Chains A and B, each alone.
Chain A
Amino acid sequence: GQQVMQIPQYQHVQEGEDFTTYCNSSTTLSNIQWYKQRPGGHPVFLIQLVKSGEVKKQKRLTFQFGEAKKNSSLHITATQTTDVGTYFCVRPGGYQKVTFGTGTKLQVIP
């Protein structure tokens, strides 16, 4: 089946350390979205990447879309306790089935 895998599944970091989650699709993506889900909450949209090789930044968060449009990454610089949650990459719907990645759960140790 068409899968979207993320690694690592879990990551514990000390506050102030950097964090990266990687997303890999078995098929080429037209675009990719990233969402964050806080513990006990619902997913919240972070960003959408469309172009091959695209890099976008949101404060301490850097998102990349691979040249082949089959992978993506999210990097957080100098993590804070507010970064705690699960980060999902998502193959959006529309003309293709929505597929949420397996997710990376981030725990930040103060």
Chain B
Amino acid sequence: GAGVSQSPSNKVTEKGKDVELRCDPISGHTALYWYRQSLGQGLEFLIYFQGNSAPDKSGLPSDRFSAERTGGSVSTLTIQRTQQEDSAVYLCASSSAGGHEQFFGPGTRLTVL
């Protein structure tokens, strides 16, 4: 595809369950970013990948959050033991290199009941 895709588009889960969110960046983009956006709020940076490595994990809110990227392409964000405060839209973006224009996916809306 031409753009960044994310799946699922919506996820409803129960408190305490684990969830996995997926991001497919634009082909050839080496940089990949994850953000979280709560309703009506700004974007909270979570993690940045350059290739398969994550030089900046400073934004992950707790050790329940982890992310990986394989083959320099697809990335997954995993939230363990979800809490209600994890409810938000999780956005993924990619760019041709770190610091360049970011292209965002449509996001995954996560609702934790």
Contact = CB atoms under 8 A, between A and B. Distances in A.
Interface of A: 31, 33, 35, 42-45, 48, 88, 92-103
B45 A98 contact: yes
A85 to B, nearest CB: 13
11 contacts: A33-B101, A35-B102, A42-B104, A42-B106, A43-B43, A88-B42, A92-B99, A93-B56, A95-B99, A97-B56, A98-B33
B100 A92 contact: yes
Given A45-B101, A95-B99, A100 B48 contact: no
Given A98-B48, A101-B42, A45 B98 contact: no
Given A98-B48, A100-B42, A93 B98 contact: yes
A35 B101 CA distance: 10
B105 interface: yes
Nearest to B46: A98
Contact of A100 (B43, B98, B101): B43
Interface in B35-88: 35, 42-45, 48, 56, 58-59
B38 to A, nearest CB: 12
Nearest to A6: B42
